[in-house]
Amino acid sequence: MILMNFTSNRQADILRLNRRKQIMANRNDRHPANVPGAYYVDDTCTDCDLCRSLAPQFFLRHEESGSSYVHRQPVTPEEVAAAEEALRQCPTDTIGNDGTLPPRPQTTDH
Ligand code: SF4
C-alpha cells in the first residue's frame, strides 16, 4: 500500500512537472524592460498584479505595455525565495528563471 501511494504520488509529481514545462515562461519572449539576470517576465502577463503585491522589490508595472517586469534581480537566499514564490504563484506562468547568474558586483580592490 505504501509503495502504491509512493508510485502514484511520484506519477502525480511527474505530471505536474510535465504540465509546468509545457506552459512555463519563454525566455525568448522576455519583456524588454526586464533587467538582465535570471528572473524575467515574458509577454504573456495579464497584469493581475499578484507578483507586484508579493514581491514589489523585484516586480513593477510597465505602464506603457500594462505588463509586469523585473526591475531588480534577487541576490540573497531570502530574496530568491521571494522571487520564486512570485514565480510559483503567477497564474499564467509568465515569470521565468533561466538560471543566469546575477552580475558580480564591481570592486576596486586589486
Ligand atoms: S503574477 Fe504573472 S500575470 Fe500577474 S502581473 Fe505578475 S507576471 Fe503578470
Q: What amino acid occupies position 75?
A: V
Q: Which domains does the chain have, with CATH numbers?
A: 26-97 (3.30.70.20)
CA of 51 to the centre of ligand 1 (A): 5
Q: With contact defined as beta carbons under 8 Å apart, do 23 and 30 qualify?
A: no
How far apart are alpha carbons 73 and 40 in whole angstroms? 9
pTM reported for the whole predicted model:
0.75
Ligand 1: which atom is nearest the Cα of residue 47?
5
Ligand 1: which atom is nearest the Cα of residue 49?
5
Q: Ligand 1 pocket: which of 29, 41, 85, 89 to mutate (most atoms <8 Å of CB)?
A: 41
Q: What is the pLDDT of residues 60-105, one digit of tens each?
A: 999 999 999 999 999 999 999 999 999 999 999 999 999 886 555 5
What is the average pLDDT across 17-24? 59
Checking if the pLDDT of 20 tops 60, the result is no
How far apart are alpha carbons 90 and 39 in whole angstroms? 13
CA of 57 to the centre of ligand 1 (A): 14
Grid coordinates 521565468 are at which residue?
Answer: 96
The mean pLDDT of the chain is 85
